[in-house]
A and B are shown apart, each in its own frame.
Chain A
Amino acid sequence: MEKNYMKLEFLSKSSNESFARVVVAAFASQLDPTLEELSDIKTAVSEAVTNAIIHGYEYGEGIITLEAKIIDNEIEILVEDKGMGIADIKQAMEPFYTSKPNLERSGMGFTVMETFMDSLEIESKKGEGTKVRMRKKFNSLTSKE
């Protein structure tokens, strides 16, 4: 069984959105992903990190934790903030629901994560923060070694 793990902490600045995407893409590259698989996980990570910045910390300063685990041909990604949390997760996950329509958010972030990854789990507590866990299997790698 092939295993690997990484953890990274960074400030909730929008310039770190691309940083987080690139880190996960580089880490995932050992699984030999296709271009489409790679762009799918970059997009999902971007959504989760952007949410932590805009909603979790509401543009204030905080720490975002990014973890990634590889087990065989599957990657598990965790994005965590210690921000305001989500009161109603079910509502938050509805396509087109946004609590910030005046900021031109489309409310598609969680829908994108769900569609582009194999699974999405959200754990959140009001006033304590949010954990977003996503998994995706890469079909390109046949674990034959």
Chain B
Amino acid sequence: MYISVEKHKDNLLIQFKGELDHHSSEIVRQKIDQQYLDHGLKNIILDLRGLTFMDSSGIGLIMGRYKNCLEKKGKMSIVNDNPHVDKILKMSGLLKIINVYPTIESAIENI
């Protein structure tokens, strides 16, 4: 699992590459939270297009970051075009509370 974490004004943009499971989610969680809290950011954008695998550990990771966002009165958006990831997201009910965009640009514009 490889992630890049970048600041865009008061948004935190996280791009994933590889497999997001219980094993990889621990370190990912630490990296995201550290950047988000240390820099006092507001919104989180998760680009999941590079994921080749995700299970319910990914759902737990997204839910946890979403709660942090709510606490900071921020918003969360997801960038995705991957059918497997979409299937899990749908099942989790997360798509009822988080918008999904096809590109980073559209996610940033609409947040």
Binding partners A and B = yes
Contact A106 B22 (CB under 8 A): no
* 1/0 contact string of A27-48 vs chain B (CB within 8 Å): 0000000001001001100110
Contact B53 A42 (CB under 8 A): yes
Closest to A111 in B: B91
Contact A50 B22 (CB under 8 A): yes
A-B contact count (CB 8 A): 61
Q: In A8-67, which residues have CB < 8 Å from any B CB?
A: 14-15, 17-18, 21, 36, 39, 42-43, 46-47, 50, 53-54
CA distance A17 to B54 in the complex (A): 12
Contact A109 B56 (CB under 8 A): yes
B63: contacting residue among A14, A39, A43, A106, CB under 8 A? A106
CA distance A59 to B103 in the complex (A): 38
Report if B64 contacts A (CB, 8 A).
Answer: yes
A18: contacting residue among B19, B54, B56, B64, CB under 8 A? B19
Contact B59 A17 (CB under 8 A): no
Contact A106 B53 (CB under 8 A): no
Given contacts A39-B84, A115-B91, contact A108 B56 (CB under 8 A): yes
Number of residues from A at the complex interface, CB < 8 A: 23
Taking CB atoms, residues of chain A closer than 8 Å to B107 are none
Contact B53 A39 (CB under 8 A): yes
Given contacts A17-B21, A39-B84, contact A106 B55 (CB under 8 A): no
Tell me, rounded to whole Å, the shortest Cβ–Cβ distance linking B35 to chain A.
Answer: 18
Tell me, rounded to whole Å, the shortest Cβ–Cβ distance linking A140 to chain B.
Answer: 17
Report if B3 contacts A (CB, 8 A).
Answer: no
Taking CB atoms, residues of chain B closer than 8 Å to A145 are none
Contact B60 A18 (CB under 8 A): no
Taking CB atoms, residues of chain B closer than 8 Å to A111 are 91
Contact B56 A112 (CB under 8 A): yes
Residues on B lying within 8 angstroms of A by beta carbon are 19, 21-23, 26, 29, 53-57, 59-61, 63-64, 83-84, 88, 91-92
